Amino acid sequence: MDEEAMDGKDAGRTQEPVRKSEEEWRRLLDPEAYTVLRQSGTERPWSGEYVSTDVKGVYRCRACGAELFRSDEKFDSHCGWPSFYDPADSSAVTLHEDRSLGMIRTEVRCSRCDSHLGHVFRGEGYPTPTDDRYCINSVALTLEADGPVE
């Protein structure tokens, strides 16, 4: 990812909206990230770098750097995408009805830059505190590890 996209490490700690033209987003994001984040695409299952990672840290929006999820809320749902049972902060994401693909789903977007992250599914019976599965595209995230990774 281009460093300009995150506007610095502290960018995720403020809730100031990030607004850029589509041309600016295209310059800042690689083609796959642009397709997912700005055009509501989906990466192939099991292809993302964070599907199986167990590194402790903070997951941030690849487009703007906002803190979205923490590794403590990540769990293995065996769905092919990183899964979290709760966002880091309830205001970190916004939820929107998605009627694409002939079904009703709940889309998850970054509340800071309005980028598409994935979808949330409820009531599937996972043994988590919320029974929610935030199914998030790896390419929509960056991981800020807690300390050195071994």
- Active site residue ranges: 135
Q: Residue 1: name the closest of 21, 28, 19 by CA.
A: 28
What ranges in the chain are assigned the alpha helix state H? 22-28, 31-39
In this structure, the number of other CB atoms found within 10 A of the CB of residue 146 comes to 12
Let me know: does 71 contact 56? Beta carbons within 8 Å.
yes
Do β-strands 93-98 and 83-84 pair in parallel, antiparallel, or remain unpaired? unpaired
Q: Residue 106: name the closest of 114, 115, 116, 95 by CA.
A: 95
The structure tokens listed for 77 are 């749902």
